[in-house]
């Protein structure tokens, strides 16, 4: 690589962004391993950062960088005690599905825990409005295809 192309400031920025992403993906992988979510796009984590990292994260779309459906940024001081952390990445914590996690915990407590209870409780608790809208749109498309097929003048019949 030509020396003129090197940009130490830009390199340091992306190195830190990759570290932030590492913490997010670490939390997501634990949730996936526990069968709480199936894919990273089912997660909507809250990323807790110091002021400097918050300014850095604001320069990019962290949800896109982390391959999640949404991502909220908060102050590291507000991070819950059970938020996910990686020891080597200082000043960063992640909490998955902040709004839905408490509902999931309540369901699990009611169900008595266990792997079967986690699976049965997690699926409805983690469904997003976007998934419901997609399902409604698919149903509308299916209905229009069925109507078109039943019509005598339809090219689909």
Answer yes or no: is 17 within a domain: yes
Answer yes or no: is 134 within a domain: no
Answer yes or no: is 34 within a domain: yes
DSSP bridge partners of 92: 49
Contacts of 80 (CB under 8 A, 6+ apart): 93, 95
Count of the separate structural domains present in the chain: 1
Please tell me which residue, 104 or 67, carries the higher pLDDT value.
67
Residue 109 has pLDDT above 80, yes or no: no
CA distance 90 to 30: 19
* Phi-psi map region of 71: left, alpha, beta (phi>0 left; psi -120 to 50 alpha): beta
Q: Residue 74 is part of which domain span? A: 3-98
Answer yes or no: is 88 within a domain: yes
Answer yes or no: is 156 within a domain: no
Please tell me which residue, 2 or 121, carries the higher pLDDT value.
2
Report the candidate in 92, 97, 118, 91 with the shortest Cα–Cα distance to residue 107: 118
CA distance 22 to 45: 13
Residue 152 is predicted with a pLDDT of 55
Residue 3 is predicted with a pLDDT of 82
CA 42 and chain centroid, separation: 5
Tens digits of per-residue pLDDT, 56-97?
Answer: 999 999 999 999 989 999 999 999 999 999 999 999 999 986
Q: What is the mean pLDDT of residues 9-29?
A: 95
3-state secondary structure of 86: coil
Q: How many residues does the chain have?
A: 157
For a pLDDT cut of 70, what percent of the chain falls above it?
61
- Which CATH number belongs to the domain containing residue 21 in this structure? 3.30.2320.20
Answer yes or no: is 105 within a domain: no
Residue 15 is predicted with a pLDDT of 96
At residue 72, φ and ψ (nearest 5 deg) are: -110, 140
């Amino acid at each position: 690589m030509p020396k003129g192309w090197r940009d130490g400031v830009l390199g340091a920025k992306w190195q830190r962004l990759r570290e932030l992403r590492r913490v997010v993906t670490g939390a997501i992988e634990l949730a996936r391993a526990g069968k709480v979510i199936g894919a990273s796009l089912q997660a909507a984590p809250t990323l807790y950062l110091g002021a400097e990292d918050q300014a850095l994260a604001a320069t990019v779309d962290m949800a896109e960088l982390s391959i999640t459906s949404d991502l909220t940024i908060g102050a590291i001081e507000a991070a819950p005690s059970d938020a996910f952390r990686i020891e080597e990445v200082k000043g960063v914590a992640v909490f998955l599905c902040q709004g839905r996690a408490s509902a999931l915990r309540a369901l699990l407590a009611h169900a008595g825990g266990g792997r079967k209870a986690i699976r049965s409780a997690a699926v409805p608790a983690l469904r997003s409005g976007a998934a419901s809208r997609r399902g409604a749109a698919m149903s509308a498309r299916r209905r229009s295809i069925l109507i078109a097929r039943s019509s005598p003048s339809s090219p689909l019949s």
